[in-house]
Chains A and B, each alone.
Chain A
Amino acid sequence: MIAGRSAVRRGLAEAGVYGAIALYVGFALFPIYWTLKISVTPGELLYREGITAWPSSTTLANYGRVLSETDFPHYFLNSVTVSVGTAVIVTLIASAAGYALSRFRFQGKATVGFLLLLTQTFPLVMVIPPIYRVMGQIGLTDSLIGLIIIYTAFNIAFATFLMRSFFDGVPRELEDAAMIDGCTRFTALRRIVLPLTLPGMGATLGFVFTAAWSELLFALMLINQESKKTFAVGLLTFIGKFAVDWGQMMAASVLALIPVCIFFAFLQRYLVTGLTAGAVRG
């Protein structure tokens, strides 16, 4: 009798868990699904079937037009250049800084940590006008390199926290043992610590890549030349120009989503395992 009731209860709890999981998945995927749906809906069906779950016929014409008649392929390449460049540079710089914060005891360490945290409070909208002015003076407006420099600086602090946590997750004893066996600290780093933090570096790379891919305001301010626009700026100007062409707009959005989603789906696991190992701390 009691066992029966607790079994029912457990069954209910189980159903509740799966129900909650289903709700989360639905909430996460619905907007993406909807963008995809509108992007394959033929223009003439849009107003009649705009809000049905799936259109009665589908088309890839919107994608064809976005790829052949607009500059999006070009924007896409610019965004890839900027995001990959930023991600690689930040990961290298943050790995070095994270290693220093994880493995050394030195005077001023707490101050460095505090400074990194403090930079997180700088409002982006505050530094745009000064940076715009300085970048203009040294000729880095309308330049992808200018964007890479700015995005790098903005992502270093958080990436350093991440990398520090990944390094903290590698047992110090492994390094000590290698150093007792005659390795220098640098050899121990290269042979032992770095291979173990590779997943962490991958996660940082993915994190920074998505952040750089997403940035809009700096790109909007610093880039005017059509050939230097990133995907975000291109999409926004496109919306300004063709505010009613829903199909093409959503097709372009889906194209913008594909690389980051693939990238992130692979790397999110390392983000969790890496952070687990080091147990996030401030």
Chain B
Amino acid sequence: MVAISSLTSDVRSPPRRRLGDLLEPWFYLSPALVMIALVLVVPVIIGIGYSLRKFSAFRSEFVGLEQYQTMLSDPELRLALWNTVLWTAGSVFFQFFLGLGLALLLNRPFFGRRVVQALVFLPWAVPTFLSGLTWAWLFNPVVGPVPHWLHAVGLMSEPRNILSDPATAMWGPIIANVWFGIPFFAITLLAALKSIPGELYEAAAIDGASAWQGFTKVTLPFLASTIAITVMLRTIWIATLADLIYVMTAGGPAGSTETVATYIYVTAFKSLDKGYASAVASLLLVLLVLYAAGLLYMRRRATPEAEA
């Protein structure tokens, strides 16, 4: 009797449990997916719809791809695209190498390391727009020391604001962004460094590897996956970041710090041309997706056995 009832319950429960098992992960995922669908995916689709419409004061009309054609002959957009490349490449390059250097330093024991770690990671907590403002003040000859230093070492004939010279203005937001972003790379790379088993280095040392060989043969291959994903995320975040540049230079002087992100922002909210702004934003979105897809593809080819 007991045996039979346990047998029947055994027979009955697997399909039900299987359905439950199938649904369980989706149950945990659903709040995240619903939020993302409603607040991110739907607005992006609406935004792509905007890009096909021309907005005037009280109404809008469907114009198809007309605004995409306008983009082809928009010199301001061309400059903004070029500036975006400079701004993104410059920021990511310095953030990454300085962040990697910091992670390598923090991965070795030294006196006061815990305090040092808390201090050097502090810029990450500073709001982006506030890092922009703070650096704008440092570059200001009235309250900031930087122009006076540059003057003292002979790089400037008189203490001027580098943000007001089109030739040097882009360095301002880049420096502010590097300052703000080093901790992101340092934190993620330090975490990856700490997960490298120490025996690998011992084995390399026994085989007579130099410190440099240990770095290139053990450390870098281990970090490769983290590097790929963090560089990708940072590149995308920086390319779409508008507030830091906006508060430092508002795209000026003479458009020399205008990136695609600030151009969209200004077009949408200062010129109130929502349609054209959305068209430019769609272009940026496509470029970023292509970039991400390219990187992911290269990464998969480099490590065929790794599952995504």
Do the beta carbons of A34 and B137 come within 8 Å of each other?
A: yes
B261 within 8 A of A: yes
Can you give 15 contacting A-B residue pairs, CB < 8 Å?
A24-B182, A25-B120, A28-B121, A31-B135, A120-B233, A120-B236, A125-B240, A125-B265, A129-B50, A158-B233, A210-B127, A260-B127, A273-B194, A275-B187, A275-B191
Do the beta carbons of B130 and A268 come within 8 Å of each other?
A: no
Do the beta carbons of A112 and B33 come within 8 Å of each other?
A: yes
Number of interface residues of B (CB under 8 A): 96
Mostly, the A contact residues are helix
**Nearest CB of chain A from residue B98's CB, rounded to whole Å:** 8
Given A29-B119, A265-B122: A232 and B129 interface contact (C-beta under 8 Å): yes
Alpha-carbon separation in the docked complex, A217 to B132 (Å): 14
B237 within 8 A of A: yes
Which residues of A line the B interface, CB within 8 A?
17-18, 20-21, 24-25, 27-29, 31-32, 34-35, 38, 46-47, 50-51, 92-94, 96-97, 99-101, 104, 106, 109-110, 112-131, 133-134, 149-150, 152-154, 156-158, 160, 185, 210, 213-217, 221, 232, 235-236, 239, 246, 250, 253, 256-257, 260-261, 263-265, 268-269, 271-277, 279-282
Which residues of chain B are near A268, meaning CB under 8 Å? 117-118, 121, 124, 183, 187
Do the beta carbons of A110 and B308 come within 8 Å of each other?
A: yes
Alpha-carbon separation in the docked complex, A128 to B276 (Å): 14
**Nearest CB of chain A from residue B107's CB, rounded to whole Å:** 10
Report which of B41, B137, B229, B274 forms a contact with A250, defined as CB distance below 8 A.
Answer: B137
Residues of chain B in range 111-143 having any CB-CB distance to chain A below 8 Å: 114, 116-131, 133-135, 137-138, 142-143
Do the beta carbons of A106 and B25 come within 8 Å of each other?
A: yes
Do the beta carbons of A125 and B135 come within 8 Å of each other?
A: no
Given A100-B28, A130-B46, A210-B125: A114 and B308 interface contact (C-beta under 8 Å): yes
Given A31-B131, A214-B127: A97 and B237 interface contact (C-beta under 8 Å): no
Stretch of B8-16, B71-79, B165-173, B280-288 lying at the A interface: B280-288
Do the beta carbons of A32 and B128 come within 8 Å of each other?
A: no
B214 within 8 A of A: no
Do the beta carbons of A34 and B145 come within 8 Å of each other?
A: yes
Mostly, the B contact residues are helix
Alpha-carbon separation in the docked complex, A152 to B32 (Å): 9
Given A46-B143, A125-B242, A131-B43: A29 and B122 interface contact (C-beta under 8 Å): yes
Do the beta carbons of A210 and B145 come within 8 Å of each other?
A: no
Report which of B32, B44, B194 forms a contact with A276, defined as CB distance below 8 A.
Answer: B194
* Residue in A119, A239, A263 with the greatest tally of chain B CB atoms within 10 Å: A119
Which of chain B's residues has its CB closest to A206's CB? B125
Which of chain A's residues has its CB closest to B41's CB? A119
Report which of A27, A157, A277, A282 forms a contact with B225, defined as CB distance below 8 A.
Answer: A282
Given A97-B29, A264-B122, A268-B121: A106 and B47 interface contact (C-beta under 8 Å): no
Do the beta carbons of B191 and A21 come within 8 Å of each other?
A: no
Alpha-carbon separation in the docked complex, A20 to B110 (Å): 13
Do the beta carbons of A126 and B44 come within 8 Å of each other?
A: yes
B83 within 8 A of A: no
Report which of A38, A117, A120 forms a contact with B143, defined as CB distance below 8 A.
Answer: A38
Which residues of chain A are near B254, meaning CB under 8 Å? none
Given A119-B40, A264-B121: A97 and B28 interface contact (C-beta under 8 Å): yes
Alpha-carbon separation in the docked complex, A113 to B300 (Å): 15
B155 within 8 A of A: no
Which residues of chain B are near A149, meaning CB under 8 Å? 35, 39
**Nearest CB of chain B from residue A53's CB, rounded to whole Å:** 8
Report which of A92, A120, A274, A280 forms a contact with B226, defined as CB distance below 8 A.
Answer: A280
Given A20-B105, A126-B47: A51 and B40 interface contact (C-beta under 8 Å): no
**Nearest CB of chain A from residue B295's CB, rounded to whole Å:** 10
B268 within 8 A of A: yes
Alpha-carbon separation in the docked complex, A97 to B35 (Å): 12
Which residues of chain B are near A263, meaning CB under 8 Å? 125
Alpha-carbon separation in the docked complex, A90 to B122 (Å): 22
* Residue in A92, A93, A129 with the greatest tally of chain B CB atoms within 10 Å: A129
* Residue in A46, A110, A153 with the greatest tally of chain B CB atoms within 10 Å: A153
Alpha-carbon separation in the docked complex, A38 to B133 (Å): 13
**Nearest CB of chain B from residue A269's CB, rounded to whole Å:** 7
Residues of chain B in range 1-39 having any CB-CB distance to chain A below 8 Å: 22, 24-29, 31-33, 35-36, 38-39
Alpha-carbon separation in the docked complex, A95 to B138 (Å): 40
B188 within 8 A of A: yes
Which residues of chain B are near A213, meaning CB under 8 Å? 127
